[in-house]
Amino acid sequence: MSVYRDEQLKALEQTKQRRKAAVGIFLDQQKTVEERLRAAPSCGSFSGKEEISVAASVLFSSEESLQVRIAALKNLNVAIGSDEQLALRVLELLEDEQESDMIKLGVINIFQAGQFSSAIISSLRAEYHQKLKNLLTKKDLLPAILYIVLESLAQEKDEFVQRMLLKGLESPKEARVEPDRAIQLLAYDLHAEYYPILKKIVEEPPTPAAKKEAIRALSGDQSAKSILVNTLTDKDENDEIRYASANSIAALDSSELYDHVRKILLDDEEDDEFRAALLNTASVLGDSNRLSTDEELQAKFSELSVASQATPLQKVTKRVLSKQLKSFRK
């Protein structure tokens, strides 16, 4: 046991030494950028007042190479989450017009992660949100930054972001992101005022992806039931969109789903994969009691489950039947 312990302590000491050397190389401005970048992953999170202070000066130095600064920022994540002054200084980078987008992206990533892990970062919520909102007013924002900023604020149900996204959906010329992405972001808030525009999108979709997202998001709007039913029963519609409608109907009112799904399952002209997916939804989210007592449907399942080819529909029907059998035995 003591041999094992000694070995572990030795390994630990070696790791410490390696880290110390790596930190020394990374923080040494005399070394080449390549050397410093090679050393960066072995540094781990910077700790100790002096180490953090030097690493922070690397981060805020305009003379350092961008890659080295990004590496310094990544390794300062723990320090930023435990030092309010440093966190506020780092936050200021978001407002610096001259600052690189990659650094800004790094700052946002640290603050996003820190919302859950650091009391200091979560206490700076107002300051952080103000910086993000200001970033959104810049028209030439890097798409990666734009998306993460929108996502962060949309998750917080921010009214400014919701206004911006709705404006984009209403007048596509002013849109900052694709309509399907805008709908996904608005869907974080049940109370976002977007149901009327979603209905318009379903009727005149700018893209198929937008229509699919609109159908998904309408799962919170009782008044959209007829639109969803029409989409589900429309044979000319894309199956993925029809499937999304089925899920939305199930979320609104599972009893409503059964009659429509039944017709589709009994219709051999419908695509097998689509029917398999629908059956799966109906058995999980729908009214399973009605499903198991419907004789016509049960006969159809038996017929499909013994079909010569192992289609997805055959697999699902077999599974549904065996599940019903098990519950019957119980």
Partner 1 sequence: MNLKTKNTECVSITSEEEVAEYLNDLRLRARTGYALVPLLSEHHAIYRGKGTNQINRIKGYVLASFYSVSLPEEALIYVLEELENSRTAYLTAASAMAIRGMSEKNVHVVPYLLKGIINMRLRDDAVNLDTYAPDWGESKWTTALNELLETLEWMGAYAKEAIPLLTELSEDSSFNHLIRNKIKTTIELILNDEEEVDNCCSITLPEIDSPDSKLDFSFIKQLQVQDQYGEVFSLNDLLKKPTIISFFYTRCTNPNKCALTVSKLGRLHNLLKQKHYANKVNIILFTYDSDFDNPNRLKGYGENKSFDFSHSSKIVRTSSSDFQLLMQYFGLGVNFANSTVSQHTIELFVTDRHGIVKKSFKRLQWKEEEVFTWIQSNWTLLNQGSYFISAFKKRACHGLNTMGASLISLSIAFFPKCPLCWYGYLSVLGISGLKTIPYSPWLFPVLLIFLGLHLLIIFRARKKRNGITPFLFSTIGSLFILLSTLWVEISITRYVGIIFIVLGSLLNSLDFKLYLQLIRPIQRLMLTFIR
Binding footprint of partner 1 on the chain (CB under 8 A): 84, 119-120, 122-127, 129-130, 133-134, 136-137, 156-160, 162-163, 190-193, 195-196, 220-224, 252-253
CB of 237 to partner 1, least distance (A): 23
Nearer to partner 1, 68 or 87 (CB): 87
* CA dist., res. 77 & res. 86, Å (int): 10
Q: Which of 277, 321, 281 is nearest to 303 (CA)?
A: 321
Nearer to partner 1, 159 or 234 (CB): 159
Question: For the residues of 293-316, what is the DSSP string, one character each?
Answer: H-HHHHHHHHHHHT-SS--HHHHH
CB of 87 to partner 1, least distance (A): 9
In sequence order, the 6+-apart residues with CB closer than 8 A to the CB of 84 are 120, 123, 124
* CA dist., res. 292 & res. 218, Å (int): 29
Nearer to partner 1, 213 or 221 (CB): 221
Nearer to partner 1, 136 or 182 (CB): 136
Nearer to partner 1, 66 or 119 (CB): 119
Torsion of CA 105, 110, 116, 118, to 10 degrees: -150
CB of 144 to partner 1, least distance (A): 21
**Ramachandran region of residue 155, left (φ > 0), alpha (ψ -120 to 50) or beta?**
alpha
CB of 172 to partner 1, least distance (A): 18
CB of 159 to partner 1, least distance (A): 4
CB of 137 to partner 1, least distance (A): 4
Nearer to partner 1, 61 or 223 (CB): 223
CB of 213 to partner 1, least distance (A): 18
CB of 119 to partner 1, least distance (A): 5
* CA dist., res. 86 & res. 45, Å (int): 15
* CA dist., res. 249 & res. 252, Å (int): 5
* CA dist., res. 224 & res. 198, Å (int): 10
At 221, list the tokens.
């709007």
Q: Which of 325, 309, 229 is nearest to 272 (CA)?
A: 309
At 86, list the tokens.
């440093």
Nearer to partner 1, 102 or 251 (CB): 251
Task: Please write down the HEC assignment for all residues of 133-159.
Answer: HHHHCCCCCCHHHHHHHHHHHHHCCCH
Longest CA span, the chain: 82
Contact 224, 199 (CB under 8 A): yes
